[in-house]
Amino acid sequence: MSNVRAMVSNVEVGDLDAALELYQNLAGDEAVRRFSYRDLELALVGLFLLVSGAIEKHVSQVATVVVESLDPVLKALDAAGAEILEGPDQTSNGTRFVIRHPDGAVFEYMQPTASAS
């Protein structure tokens, strides 16, 4: 069984409210989960994570990888020579790290809290 639960696409938008309808239609998912992180406003719509705010102050990342457990992820990435750029950070959704892979790709890894699952 895979440790990876989902891969969430990060989408930078200028106006979160204006973008919601399109992504709800694309995801076929009426549920929108809005939250903030530092100075960003975010909305999870299906497998799209809409991000709005002072994005230039943050590390750009390819996607968010939602995992059952961060332990095997951190072990594998450490063995590969990856670099932790941010984290661990406790958020309303769980524990997160932003990690640069040896190939240069940057991903956020998130282990959700029980209530955020």
Say if CB 98 and CB 85 are below 8 A apart: yes
Res 9 pLDDT > 60: yes
Q: How confident is the model at residue 115 (pLDDT cuts 50, 70, 90)?
A: low
* CA torsion, ordered 53, 55, 57, 58, to nearest 10 deg: 120
Res 116 pLDDT > 60: no
Closest CA to 29 of 39, 21, 19: 21
Tokens at 50, concatenated:
């809409």
Q: What is the pLDDT of residues 21-80, one digit of tens each?
A: 999 999 996 789 999 988 999 999 999 999 999 888 877 888 999 999 999 999 999 999
Say if CB 64 and CB 89 are below 8 A apart: no
| Structure confidence at residue 38 (pLDDT) | 85
| Structure confidence at residue 93 (pLDDT) | 87
Q: Which CATH architecture has domain 4-116?
A: Roll (3.10)
Q: Which amino acid is at 76?
A: A
Residue 80's beta-bridge partner residues? Answer: none
